[in-house]
Each structure stands twice: as structure tokens, then as C-alpha cells.
Structure 1
Amino acid sequence: MRRIFPTPVASVSVEAAYGVARSRIKTGASSEPTSRPLSRPTIGLCMVMSLDGSTVVQGNSRALSGDADRSILIGLRSLADVIVVGSSTVRIDDYGPPSRKDLRVAVVSRTGNIDLTTPLFTSGAGFLIIPEDAPEPSNPTVTCIRAGHGSVDFAAAMNQLDGTFIQLEGGPGLNASMAHADLIDEINLTISPNIAANNQPRLLSEATPILKRFTLSHILEEEGFLFLRYTRNRN
């Protein structure tokens, strides 16, 4: 993997490209613009999309991904304290327990109507983010974070999560809700060298029109895939 920007480097590791950036933000040593309020963890969106903007081909993102993209996903997960993901994405991509035992997965659902007998939940890794008025889950041992009425109050929910870095993994509806609440502090975006030419979801869907400024931090390339990292500019 080579770095194109900011300083061209012929070969760079995922750990060097992403781990150093994350550790510098955690220690406050980064020179990047302030990306988040200090009252909550940093939230980073990690997604892959086609050249024409699709995040899904035939129901999931696997056809758009590649070895380097998966390495970056794994690398960012190794730095995360919590993964936040929508219930539909969990079902479609068959999320299981993370390989890292202390990494937890927060599954967002408006109704709480989700299968809690899967290994993700029976392992203790998965927990729910649901509205305060959602029914009690079918498995009382599953942890719930409740925020909002009728729908999830994402700002309140994120303030209840422990740690310093949350990895947001979609889908597009959840991404849109988080963006509308101005909760996305960085975007780690893979541009796949494919076009999809379909009506599948884009990076954000069903969002009220918004305009938020991000600052480009790096561009990496491998086998035609581009890996872009942007941080939210709140200055």
C-alpha cells in the first residue's frame, strides 16, 4: 500500500497509516482540526463504495471490497472500543462476535425486534441501542442503552458509550442519522475501482439535506483502490 497524500511514501502499513493517527488524537498530539466535542468518544465512519457511489451490490458490500480494504477494517476495529452498526446490516452481513474479546458491538434498532439468539448476542459481545419506549428485549441478559422516544436520540446514546473511539459501520440509514446529528468526526472511506450502476443505497440515505465540512488527512492506494481519511472540521 502506498501513500499519495500528504507526503508520498512507496510503502506504508495499515498500522502506521491509521494507528498513529488514532493514537495522536487520543493523546491530543494531533495537529488536525478538532474533530469532536470533548464530552463523548470520537466516532469514525468506515465504509466502502463504488466509483458511482453505491455501497451495496446484490445485497451487501462484499463485491466492492478487497484484501486491503478488509485489512483497514480489521485495523480500525483493533483500535475501536465499540462498533456501532444498524440491525439490518448485522442481519445482512451476519455479524458475529469480534475476534478481540473486549470489543463490543452496539446494534441500533428503533423497535428492538432483532434475533438475540445469534452468537453475537449469546457471546455477550452484542448489546442494543433502542428508544426508551421500545419493548423489553426477548433476552433479558442483553444490555440495552436507551435514548429517545419513538426513535433513537443518537447524541444521548453516544454519550453513554465508554471508550475513546467508536467505529460506525453503517448502514446508510444509520450513517444519515448520525451525520444529521453531527456525530461523525472522521470518515475512513474506501473507493472501490468498480461501478455498480444500480439504485442501491449510497453512503448516506434518507437524510435531511445537510452540509458539513471535513478536512482531507490522507490518501492511500493499492491495486486501484483508494483509501481516504477525512476528519470533521469544527473550527
Structure 2
Amino acid sequence: MQRIPNAIQLTELTADRLADLYAYPAALDAPWVRTNFVSSIDGAATAGDVSQGLGTPADKTVFLLLRDLADVILVGAGTVRAENYGGARTDAARRRRLHERAIGGHPDGAPPPLAVVTASAALEPGSRLFTDTAVPPLILTTAAAPADRKQAIADAGGEVIEVGGVACTQKAILAALAERGLYRVLCEGGPHLHGELLEADLVDELCLTTAPVLIGGTARRITLSAHEFQTTMRRRHVLLDDDGTILTRWVRR
């Protein structure tokens, strides 16, 4: 059987070794943007209109590890609504261990906040984003967003941060996170936010799970943008699970 170069069986890895494979660079002084997506073999980013429909046990394992490693989880408002996001559920003990090893995590084990991008501040104050979270979400919006919406978000416990006049600019988004010392950025989508970050040349790496399934239909890809571009990536590793799931990590060349 022909082997995939650098491929590793997921079952052969200890928890610490898996964390090492996904560690952020040491001593960051600026945001490092990692994106994480799951796709079918034929390129669908969703099944039944949600990414959870493509999930596998291996994908869930890495999904949770990436959240434990991150300082902040960046996500678009459309994905928050479609996936019914609540606050991140992370492993406090593992977050502390990762911090002690200087590869991620948090000294107190606290979960990373969600940073939600919404130019119009169109979020429901009664949603799980605000009612089911251990840390207040950061709401990245614009000066032009309706003041009553921003006030309602603040009243619900969100921290409202303006990162543009009429549009949320990608550099301003990352600058706002950097001001708060949130350098280990994990972007979970959606495709439009991913495309905007890529088009602005601000994505440092992509973690991609390929689920062993064909979807067909008209499901979106993991990236949508107004213009075509090419970003050359280098494969860092390939992990294989017994059910056929393939987990890859790609870094910008």
C-alpha cells in the first residue's frame, strides 16, 4: 500500500503529542490566525446546512483541542446564527497544562471568548451566544451599526467593539484582538469571513478535516470571496483515523 508522506495514525498519538502537532508558535507578539473547517470528499462545507453534519469522532477530538489551545475564537455572525453558537466549552485542566507548556491554553483554565463579526450588530440578545457562556463574547461591529442594537448587545453582556465605519475591516479586527493580548486566533468560519481573511493575506494556517462522505447538492465550499486569489500553502502534517477521516494542517508558505 502506498503511504501518504508524513501521515500518522491518530490512534498512535498520545494527548500531549497531538497537542504538540497543533501548537501555536512560541512567543507571539502579533495575532497568528488559524482557521478550522470540515469538508466532504467532494468539497461540501455543510450537510443539512450545518457543518456539524460532517463531523466525525476524529474531527471532534481535534476541534476541541484547537479550542483549548486558542486565546479567542473568531466567527462570523451568520455562522453563529446557523450553528446556534453558545460559549466555548473547554477543558479547564487541559487549558492550564497547555499554558504551563507555553503552547496555548490559559493560566486559570478559563475558556476562550467568542469574537463575533457583524457589521450591522444583527444578533439576538436572548440567544445562546449571551445566555449560555462562561465569558462575555466580543462583538466586532461598525460605527454605522444601529445604536439600539449595540446597546441591546451590551445590556446582554457582550463587549461591543467598533472595527470600522460601515464595514468590519480584517486588519482592524485583528488589531482589536491584539490590543487585548489575544494572539492565538482560531477562526471557525464561516466561508465569507474565511474568504475575507484569506483575500487580505491574514490567514497563517488552515486545519482541514476531510470527512469520508460524498454530499452532492449545492452546499458551499469552505471559502467564499468576491475575487479569485491564490495562497500557496505547505502541508505540515496528515493524520488518519480508522473510519477514513483525514486531518490535515496547512501553513502559509
Could you state the TM-score of these two structures normalised by the residue count of structure 2? 0.80
Q: Is the Cα contact below 8 Å between 2:163 and 2:176 reproduced in 1?
A: no
Structure 2 letter corresponding to 1:197:
G
> What's the offset of the Cα at 1:56?
0.9
- Return the match for 2:112 from 95, 103, 107: 103
Is 2:52 aligned against 1:62?
Answer: yes
Is 2:196 aligned against 1:189?
Answer: no
> What's the offset of the Cα at 1:13?
3.8
Q: How many pairs align?
A: 220
1:148 corresponds to: 164
Q: Is the Cα contact below 8 Å between 1:176 and 1:204 reproduced in 2?
A: yes
Q: Is the Cα contact below 8 Å between 2:8 and 2:238 reproduced in 1?
A: no
The answer to which structure has the higher helix fraction is: 2
> What's the offset of the Cα at 1:208?
1.0
> What's the offset of the Cα at 1:224?
0.2
2:30 corresponds to: 40
Is 2:137 aligned against 1:126?
Answer: yes
> What's the offset of the Cα at 1:82?
0.3
1:232 corresponds to: 252
> What's the offset of the Cα at 1:172?
0.7
Which deviates more from structure 2 when the two are superposed, residues 103-112 or residues 139-148? 139-148
2:6 corresponds to: 6
- Return the match for 2:173 from 138, 145, 157: 157
Helix, strand or coil at the partner of 1:111: coil
Task: Tell me how far apart the structure 2 counterparts of residues 96 and 15 of structure 1 sit (CA, whole Å).
Answer: 27
> What's the offset of the Cα at 1:119?
3.5
> What's the offset of the Cα at 1:39?
5.7
Task: Tell me how far apart the structure 2 counterparts of residues 44 and 14 of structure 1 sit (CA, whole Å).
Answer: 20
Structure 2 letter corresponding to 1:187:
L
Q: Among the aligned pairs, what percent are the same residue?
A: 26
> What's the offset of the Cα at 1:168?
0.4
Task: Tell me how far apart the structure 2 counterparts of residues 196 and 151 of structure 1 sit (CA, whole Å).
Answer: 34
Task: Tell me how far apart the structure 1 counterparts of residues 249 and 68 of structure 2 sit (CA, whole Å).
Answer: 17
1:202 corresponds to: 221
Could you state the TM-score of these two structures normalised by the residue count of structure 1? 0.86
Q: State the Cα RMSD in Å.
A: 2.1
> What's the offset of the Cα at 1:98?
1.6
Task: Tell me how far apart the structure 2 counterparts of residues 24 and 201 of structure 1 sit (CA, whole Å).
Answer: 28
Q: Is the Cα contact below 8 Å between 1:51 and 1:191 reproduced in 2?
A: yes
Structure 1 letter corresponding to 2:13:
V
| Runs of 5+ consecutive residues of structure 2 not aligned to the other structure | 91-109
1:116 corresponds to: 125
Q: Is the Cα contact below 8 Å between 1:129 and 1:152 reproduced in 2?
A: yes
Task: Tell me how far apart the structure 2 counterparts of residues 188 and 139 of structure 1 sit (CA, whole Å).
Answer: 31
